[in-house]
Chain A
Amino acid sequence: MNLIEKLKAGAVLLDGAMGTCLEGGGLPAGSPPELYNSLKPEEVEKIHRGYVDAGCDVVCANTFGINPFRYADCEQMIAKAVGIALRAADGKAAVALDVGPTGKLLRPIGDLPFEDAVNCFKRVISAGVSAGAELIFIETINDLYELKAALLAAKESCNLPVFASCAFGADGKLTTGASPEAVVALAEGLGADAVGLNCSLAPSQMTETVKKLYACASVPVIAKPNAGLPQIADGKTVYDVDSQTFCKDMLQLLKAGARCVGGCCGTDASFISGLKKLLKGFTPLPVAQRDKTTVCSYTHALEIGDYPVLIGERINPTGKKRLKQAIQEGDFAYILGEAAEQAEKGVHALDVNVGVAGVDEKKILTEVVAAVQAVTDLPLQIDTSDPAAMDAAMRIYNGKPLVNSVNGKKSSMRAVFPLVKKYGGAAIALTLDENGVPPTAEGRIKIAKRILREAKKYGLKKSDIVFDTLATAVAAEGGSATAALDSLRYIRGRMGANVSLGVSNISFGLPDRDAVTAAFLTMALSHGLSAAIVNPYSDRVMGAYKSFMALSGKDKNCMEYIDFASRDAQPREAPPAAHTGAEGLKRSITRGLKEDAARLSAELCSTLSAQEVIEAHIVPALDEVGAAFESKKIFLPQLLISAEAASAAFDAVKPYIKRVGTGKKLKIVLATVRGDVHDIGKNIVKTMLANYGFAVIDLGKDVPPEKIVRAAAETGAGLVGLSALMTTTVGAMESTVKLIKKQLPHCKCIVGGAVITAEYAAEIGADAYGKDAMQTVRYAESIEKLL
């Protein structure tokens, strides 16, 4: 019986600890256990054999800490470790390649790029497979994104069974915030054969998390706890739970739904023998098929089903001039502002679409998805018709994505279904095909059935598809709303699948659109709509949703409705007369009143040219604040508050600017140098420069010198600004300056950051030292004058 069959038949017994057992046998604390594979292979084999003799079904090779970041010869080390485990198992137990975390944190929090993590895991897994491992056991992962990298690597390098086990904390979450439901959604989506938790906690601390995992998992649940918490006694680490207590508490975990059990730090063969006895005659809870449509972000899961959810539609350039412009100009701040604001309005997920003619959609979509995920923890709906862009965005998305969309056309299904299968997503399926949108419900239902049949050929389930029965302009075709609603009711009721609608389209071409859209949303919800793509800024539409939830009893005690209605009722203060016009604009910038600044500058554009508003009002106000900062009358936060208000004013003026490229000639490249991940200072400089009208190309943090030089050359930048905050990275700053001076002798260089001084700047050959953001602005202005 192979392992997967065993898992189907009943509980599976895993092994216990390796590292802490080796420490007990003389390995000095803090020295890596994997070194013993070469130094004392007989010790390692003895520990494995102890577990095999205790009756375990799986032994994990001593490979936890081996990866290419730590060891150049990781392949040989893995081969050796797996060889030892195979010898010890001797056919009596399956040998797992034990895959631990990389030891680095992925971007955006850490400095490890996602693909580097995937490649690191691929090397480890390929080596394990070649060495004869029979199972990939990914364990002790505490970041959902890293779990995704490891599972993807496993899927792309082998066909072996894969177990995914995370180190949940006592708070029931991973250290980067992921819930058990999110872990299950992601791991199952990426094809894990079992999912669970190990390390960090004693068995008694795991019960709640095991229950949560079991409640949503359609694969077996793993529990591999520590023997309690480590304590230091007489200079040695000991764990505070003995094997008897351990087994007693493990029974609770088994009853809560665990099916694969073993021990982590502090356990030994006696614990596994105890578990063996416990499992004799024990029947674990069944592995149930949940058949739920679930997607997740890096923190939480979102179920699409009986509780209708809202998806914000604002990050979609169709019919939105300002967003189109933002996408073309790479103005992420505007896009992220939309993300944050929609989240504030209470939607459950965000649609992200950057389809604008002439942009590299694959590149922009992945960048925007990553950037939006840095601002909000809402799940995203990746919205594109370009399969290459969809592939890339699904890959780097931190979580299990919803994709928008596939349709009944053969070419569409051929392109999208493999991606949904591979990355574990859920797809919105439009009920249209080569012949367009059927005018009747029957036609749409027919396509839905065909889509479902085809999806199953790719190994997808009904729960992986959310049908969209297409809301099209009722003004253009009288029957369009009925067709959408009738097919919605059929698909929900008879086919048992979920349905989503982009409700706003229904009112296209009509006056007072929100009234029609809100009524349609209410109708669709009462027909069983699972998800609605909406404009969350419309109070009427949001009100319709909140009312429906209250009326249908889904909003218990109407709490959410009351919250919504009272938030809306907050009085808005009218500005005093003195705070209007040009004076008011100046005041709003110096005092940092963002909304006033935006409103007043837009108002001024009706009487003045955009250029005049900027040059005669916004910049002078900013200058006044800058001068106050330079003379230490105000401090950095106040300067930034004003800068934000000025940004809002610029943004409001932007649509009135006729010719593109007004403002300054000088282009400026900014970057935090290689090895340094601090970028608050650099971002402040960027904000100020942008406010003064300079075109800023921000390369982010931890940027290698070559990339900075390339960007400066490609954009024709006349100035490069470099930031470093750490003593260890000033070396990188020096080499970057040298490279710039060598390859782009006419490009100026200004450096700054906590550890940089004017003397040091001169010493490494920089043209200037920027003590703070204002000084950098002044320097940039002096260069601009020479152009």
Chain B
Amino acid sequence: MNILTGNPAKIDRAEAARYAGYRGDGYDVKLFDECEKIILPALSLKACYAVFPVARGDGLDLGFTRTHSRDLEKNLSGCSRVALFVATAGAGVDRLIAGYSAVSPVRALIIGAMGSAAIESWCDEVNAVITRTYGATKPRFSCGYGDFPLETQRDIFRAMLPEKTLGVTLSEGLVMSPVKSVTAIVGIKDEPD
């Protein structure tokens, strides 16, 4: 198991604007300045990952789970190993969203959108670390994509124990807290590009 921490320097504003519901290029720059100043110190980027072998037969055996997902199988063609990661932007964002929901819904919306942009960029970084370490990788794949069931989250949590290392938990309804958290499988290609 490897643990990574990130240092958020800025928010991808175009991405955040898209999440917030803006269409086209425009967004309220002053509002974005203000919200970015609020969210940056509250972000706590952490991730953990581990590598598992892939066995094929009756479906896929990834070590931490077995699945019959065809979409994942397709994604993992040419891979005999996968990296499994859990990444989070931290609980601070949840607090900000909860707090601003009461006093300024628009800030809650923008901060939420910036949190989504932050966790996506952080996943890109984590993914890049994995790619650098293991050579070429496939696009990351998460539970709920295509026919890959969301229930697999339970297996991922059992294997990675992110409650302990990252403070990320899973509810009965398979919701992760903090809300800006992602789990993903990254196929490691046998033949580098």
Contact = CB atoms under 8 A, between A and B. Distances in A.
Contact of A333 (B102, B164, B177): B102
Interface string A480-502: 00000000000000000000000
Interface string B36-56: 000000001010001101000
Chain A, interface size: which category?
A: 35 or more
Interface stretch (A168-176, A405-413, A569-577): A168-176
Contact of B105 (A171, A199, A230, A684): A684
B158 A30 contact: yes
Contact of A109 (B94, B100, B109, B174): B94
Contacts of B171: 104, 110-111, 675, 677
B101 to A, nearest CB: 5
Contacts of A174: 167
Nearest to A338: B103
Contact of A727 (B1, B27, B31, B150): B150
A377 B159 CA distance: 34
Contacts of B92: 177
Contacts, number: 162
A55 interface: no
Interface stretch (A89-97, A555-563, A631-639): A631-639
Contacts of B103: 333, 336-337, 340, 375
A687 interface: yes
Residue picked from A229, A638, A643, most chain B C-beta under 10 Å: A638
Interface string A695-728: 0000000100000000000000000000000111
Interface string A327-357: 0000011001100100000000000000000
A521 to B, nearest CB: 28
Contact of A175 (B31, B50, B98, B166): B166
Nearest to A636: B21
A553 interface: no
Most buried by B among A101, A103, A142, A728: A728
Contacts of B175: 111, 675-677, 726, 728
B5 A170 contact: yes
Contact of A675 (B44, B167, B172): B172
Interface residues of B, number: 56
Interface stretch (A231-239, A436-444, A661-669): A231-239
Contacts of B95: 108-109, 374, 377
A680 B94 contact: no
Interface in A372-400: 374-377
A34 B163 CA distance: 17
A237 B167 contact: no
B44 A175 contact: yes
B75 to A, nearest CB: 20
**What is the predominant secondary structure among interface residues of chain A facing chain B?**
loop
Nearest to A31: B158
A374 B21 contact: no
B169 A105 contact: yes
Interface string B95-117: 10111111111101110100000
A231 B50 CA distance: 9
Interface in A176-231: 176-177, 199-200, 229-231
Contacts of A729: 173
Given A104-B169, A336-B102, A637 B91 contact: no
A640 B105 contact: yes
A140 B164 contact: yes
A676 B174 CA distance: 9
Nearest to A175: B167
B178 interface: yes
Nearest to B178: A109
A702 B23 CA distance: 30
A199 B165 CA distance: 9
B102 A375 contact: yes
Contacts of A744: none
A7 interface: no
B128 interface: no
A734 interface: no
Contacts of A231: 1-2
A167 interface: yes
Contact of A636 (B20, B53, B150, B166): B20
A540 to B, nearest CB: 26
Nearest to B22: A635
Interface in A299-341: 332-333, 336-337, 340
Contacts of A31: 158
Given A110-B177, A175-B166, A684-B109, A637 B102 contact: no
A683 interface: yes
A229 B166 CA distance: 14
A359 interface: no
Interface string A610-645: 000000000000000000000010011110110110
B108 A680 contact: yes
Interface string B129-173: 000000000000000100000100000001111011111010111
A296 to B, nearest CB: 16
A75 interface: no
B179 interface: yes
A140 B106 CA distance: 37
A656 B50 CA distance: 63
Residue picked from B1, B50, B108, B169, most chain A C-beta under 10 Å:
B169
Residue from the set B28, B97, B106, B174 with the largest chain A CB neighbour count within 10 Å: B106
B54 to A, nearest CB: 13
A132 B118 CA distance: 49
B27 A143 contact: no
Contact of A643 (B105, B166, B173): B105
A30 B106 contact: no
A476 interface: no
B187 interface: no
21 contacts: A29-B159, A101-B163, A109-B98, A110-B177, A111-B173, A175-B167, A232-B51, A333-B103, A336-B103, A340-B103, A374-B102, A375-B102, A375-B103, A376-B99, A592-B106, A636-B22, A636-B109, A644-B104, A677-B177, A680-B105, A728-B174
Interface of B: 1-3, 5, 20-23, 27-28, 31, 44, 46, 50-51, 53, 64, 90-92, 94-95, 97-106, 108-110, 112, 144, 150, 158-161, 163-167, 169, 171-175, 177-179
Q: Which 5 A-B pairs have the closest CB atoms?
A: A175-B167, A675-B173, A636-B21, A640-B106, A375-B99
Given A104-B171, A636-B21, 14 more contacts: A103-B163, A175-B44, A175-B166, A199-B164, A200-B165, A333-B103, A636-B109, A637-B31, A637-B106, A675-B172, A677-B175, A680-B108, A726-B173, A728-B173
